Chain A
Amino acid sequence: MPEAALRVRALRKVYQDVVAVNGVDLEVPPGQCFGLLGPNGAGKTTTIEICEGLTARDAGEVEVLGMRWETDARALKQRLGIQLQETQLSDKLTVEETVRLFRSFFDKGPTPERVIALVQLEEKRRSRVGTLSGGQKQRLALACALVGDPEILFLDEPTTGLDPQARRQLWDLIEEFKRAGRTILLTTHYMDEAERLCEQVAIMDHGKIIALGSPRELVASIGVEHVLEFSADGAAQRLDVAELRALEGVRDAQIETGAVRMQVTALHRAVPALLAELGRRDVKLTELRTHSATLEDVFVTLTGRHLRDE
């Protein structure tokens, strides 16, 4: 067994004049779920598709299960499970026919019946793909990735566009796969997905990895435990950012249009201090929220933008 299931070094890919991936290094140990988190256009899909052997790289090295695409493509493909973003499987085939087709490409793996049971589509076995819901289609795509009993599973935005219930169902399936000791590389722009599934997360922006670590480490790295947000209609403009930053227990503050966002180290001191300040200036509070810091806050702290800003 190689030390790393996946190793990427100095990866670079340029499309026409856009640098999609600009010097990415990754190392995923066997049995880990590794997440590439970032906004759309950050280079996540390009990175994962290079690892899958679908896109040629311009520079850098990629080693999957100790093998290289140039020399071991056939053997590698037998050992990978891949789910692409936006694949539309044939509407006219049934679930079972689709899984049977994909199973036929692999030398070994579970029976189509077992894979269908695994993704909980038994009831839809004989239904045409065209009649499935978004979540069911996504589970079918996962089934097609699992037919070869893969050692590494590549998932590109597995839950994008799904309703909350369908997302949770898919997360359960991915966790089950993790329990079997397999390696996963997944891309997502949902911080909660990365926090729940991944042991390690790389935050990508503009083709580069800007932070790497476990979700807990990443959140800790920004040095704030809580985020406090409040709105005060037009009155927020009268506040002074410097004064807010100087409040007890507050590390940083930003005034956005009509709303204020504060990074807080000690919530029990910051809240009374803020309320006193607002009372002194007679600023009428319309909304006040606090939450524990998340990966979203890490991204905002590092880039000044939100994950889903387009």
Chain B
Amino acid sequence: MNNHPLYQLTLVRFREFLREPEALFWVFGFPLLLAAGLGLAFRNTPAEVLSVGSVGADPTAFESAPTLAVEPFATVDEGVRALREGKVALLVERLADGSVRYHYDDTNPEGRDARMRADMAVQQRAGRSDPVVVQDEYMREAGSRYIDFLIPGLLGMNLMGGSIWSMGFAIVDARRRKLMKRLIATPMPRHYFLLSFLISRLAMLIVEVGAFLAFGVLVFGVPIRGSVVLVAAICVLGSLAFGAIGLLLSSRAKTIEAASGLMNLTMLPMWILSGVFFSSQRFPDAAQPIIAALPLTALNDALRATMLQSATAIEIAPQLGVLAAWLLVCFPLALKLFRWR
């Protein structure tokens, strides 16, 4: 058993990977750092306090608006300068006739927000009373935050990068070193060589996906509402599809430079279009069918639907279909084009 060529080849894959500290960092460390960084940056906070400048207004005018920090200015010029420098989001100027003028940038959401809050305070102070009684009910539930959106997207992106890089680099490097030519001069069955990549990739997946999801669940409380088995199955299918793409991209390249150019060219559009960091719905409707056909979009959508909306396999069948199609087209094509020397 331990002298079986497939076992030895797979062992080589693990050894080469584990003896490369940089690779370990990029596969395991980097995604965690990225998730932690983005999670902190975009963590949900209670409504922010906005700075507002005022000229000639009664300092008690804004007492009913605790989310405004008011800074008085002696002249309009001074206030406008502070507004330009971004120190205040809005300048409130009380004119001689008792009316009020708001200075702000209407293209800036903070400016618009500050104007609304300030205006409400001003009007209420002047005696306006609202005819309808309202109550605020805050929804700060897990599953609807940015980090909940981000974790499945980052997982999909890692699966894509991991599969394409690990496949592409090792294969092109073996070809460049003429190691592949040396191997096919032995009686080694050729499909074992490719199979060893697949096996090592899937084994690595358990650690990679496991560590990343555990981090998301434990540190940020990201929910996994659907079946864990289905999530695992999506990851496996996604890895196979991207592995096939990686194999295709590296099937002929003779240098690392040529291969990495191809790989970046393939992955870059998906980083942007496939809804990793923001929803792909933001792109125009005309582009949606193309975006939906991208493998990373399918993977991310399937992961999000399963993790956040407890979707079943039947509900994400279209996404699974897209991934399977990429696998079934790229793999045979890669084998056909593959250059062994």
Chain A positions within 8 Å of B, measured between CB atoms, are 52-54, 74, 77-78, 80, 82, 84, 86-90, 92-93, 97, 100-107, 144, 148
Contacts and interface: CB of A to CB of B under 8 A. Distances in A.
Given A104-B5, A106-B186, A54 B178 contact: no
A175 to B, nearest CB: 24
B16 A84 contact: no
A23 B3 CA distance: 42
A74 to B, nearest CB: 6
B19 interface: yes
Nearest to A74: B187
A30 to B, nearest CB: 21
B330 to A, nearest CB: 26
Q: Is the interface of A mostly helix, strand, loop or mixed?
A: loop
Contacts of A107: 187
A52 B185 CA distance: 7
A77 B185 contact: yes
B285 interface: no
A87 B179 contact: yes
Contacts of A148: 186-187
Among A78, A87, A105, which residue has the most Cβ atoms of chain B within 10 A? A105
Contacts of A97: 11-12, 15
A54 B4 CA distance: 24
Nearest to A154: B185
Contact of A104 (B3, B16, B184): B3
Contacts of B7: 104
Contact of B177 (A88, A101, A103, A106): A88
Nearest to A79: B187
Contact of B181 (A74, A80, A84): A84
Contact of B4 (A102, A104, A106, A144): A104
B176 to A, nearest CB: 8
Given A87-B179, A105-B5, A54 B16 contact: no
B9 interface: yes
A210 to B, nearest CB: 28
B179 A92 contact: no
B166 to A, nearest CB: 14
Contacts of B20: 92
Contact of A89 (B15, B179, B188, B341): B179
A143 to B, nearest CB: 13
Contact of A87 (B12, B16, B177): B177
Given A92-B15, A92-B20, A104-B7, A77 B177 contact: no
B68 to A, nearest CB: 62
With most chain A CB atoms within 10 A of its CB, the pick from B4, B12, B184 is B12
Interface centre among A100, A101, A107 (most CB of B within 10 A): A101
B87 interface: no
